[in-house]
């Protein structure tokens, strides 16, 4: 009987270790895949900006050739670039978030997500929140997630409470 208990204990420990290892690997793989997707999306956005720059140059040149004032043509294109740059910044923030990092709002230093003060400039940090993404009609093969409006923690869409701060969804 003693032998069987030890075999059961060892089997349970091995099973728990294997389960924990699997969960850790799955989590890290998921974050790596998410980071890769975001980096590809950033590259696509940067290509969009380059295309707008090209359109901007052509538009300005065409207006100039026609003797027109080129001021209004700039506004629409510049606003497109600003919007895309904001999207890129949000993606970079999400990459840092997935690594447990963020950027100091004062000096731009990369710091730990839960830092209360910046390690470079000493500025007190506000609670970090990820911007909520707008829902697209396109179906994504990744599972949907919720972002806690109180602390910014990311959860599976089935969560009813935040495990970090207890906020009820």
Among 67-71, 92-96, 132-136, 137-141, name the one with the lowest average pLDDT.
137-141
Please state the rounded mean pLDDT for residues 86-113: 93
Query: Per residue in 15-68, pLDDT tens?
Result: 888 888 888 888 888 888 989 999 999 999 999 999 988 988 888 778 778 887
Percent share of the chain, pLDDT over 70: 86
Contact 93, 104 (CB under 8 A): no
Which pLDDT value is given to residue 167?
Answer: 80
Q: Which of the four pLDDT bands, split at 50, 70 and 90, describes residue 141?
A: very low
Which pLDDT value is given to residue 107?
Answer: 95
38: alpha, beta or left? (left if phi > 0; alpha if psi -120 to 50):
alpha
pLDDT exceeds 90 at position 75:
no
Please state the rounded mean pLDDT for residues 4-17: 85
Contact 77, 55 (CB under 8 A): yes
Q: Which of the four pLDDT bands, split at 50, 70 and 90, describes residue 133?
A: low
124: CB partners within 8 A, 6+ apart: 116, 117
Please state the rounded mean pLDDT for residues 158-162: 81
Which pLDDT value is given to residue 138?
Answer: 46
Which pLDDT value is given to residue 11?
Answer: 85
Percent share of the chain, pLDDT over 90: 33
**Angstrom distances, CA of residue 49 to CA of 41, 60, 61, 76, 82:** 12, 16, 18, 13, 9
- Paired tokens of 107: 């000096």
**Bridge partners (DSSP) listed for residue 101:** 112
**Nearest to 142, CA basis, from 154, 151, 160, 153:** 154
pTM comes to 0.53
């Amino acid at each position: 009987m003693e032998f069987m208990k030890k075999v059961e204990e060892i089997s349970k420990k091995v099973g728990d270790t294997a389960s924990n290892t699997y969960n850790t690997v799955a989590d890290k793989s998921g974050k790596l895949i998410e980071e890769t997707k975001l980096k590809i999306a950033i590259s696509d956005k940067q290509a969009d900006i380059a295309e707008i720059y090209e359109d901007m140059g052509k538009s300005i040149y065409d207006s100039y050739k026609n003797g027109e004032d080129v001021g209004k043509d700039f506004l629409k294109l510049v606003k497109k670039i600003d919007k895309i740059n904001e999207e890129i910044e949000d993606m970079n923030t999400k990459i840092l978030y997935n690594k447990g990092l963020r950027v100091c709002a004062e000096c731009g230093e990369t710091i730990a997500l839960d830092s209360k003060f910046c390690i470079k400039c000493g500025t007190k940090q506000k609670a970090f929140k990820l911007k909520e993404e707008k829902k697209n009609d396109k179906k994504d093969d990744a599972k949907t997630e919720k972002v806690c409006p109180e602390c910014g923690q990311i959860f599976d869409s089935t969560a009813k409470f935040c495990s970090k701060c207890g906020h009820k969804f």
